[in-house]
């Protein structure tokens, strides 16, 4: 029920280890994540595409589209 968050997960247990970032207000339906070029990209059902720094968690909007994202994925582990 709260805001969407990006978390670090133990790949062996699936346990959430820490919160990397809480996504900005207005992005409550992130249905896709992709790792590319040392960044995490989040795809929201409102059409927003966010870039998240996997080290510090800084989140910036890359693009606002008129697409409704309902899934995206490239890799499941983004190296720090």
Euclidean distance between CA atoms 80 and 69, whole angstroms: 25
Summary count for the chain: helices (H), strands (E): 0, 6
> Is residue 76 over pLDDT 60?
no
What SS3 class is residue 48?
strand
pTM (predicted TM-score): 0.76
- The predicted-structure confidence for 37-57, as pLDDT tens digits, reads as follows 889 998 888 888 999 998 898
């Amino acid at each position: 029920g709260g805001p969407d968050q990006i978390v670090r997960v133990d790949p062996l247990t699936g346990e959430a280890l820490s919160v990397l970032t809480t996504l900005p207000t207005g992005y409550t339906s992130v249905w896709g994540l992709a790792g590319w070029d040392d960044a995490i990209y989040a795809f929201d059902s409102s059409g927003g595409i966010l870039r998240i720094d996997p080290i510090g968690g800084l989140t910036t909007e890359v693009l606002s589209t008129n697409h409704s994202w309902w899934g995206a994925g490239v890799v499941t582990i983004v190296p720090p």
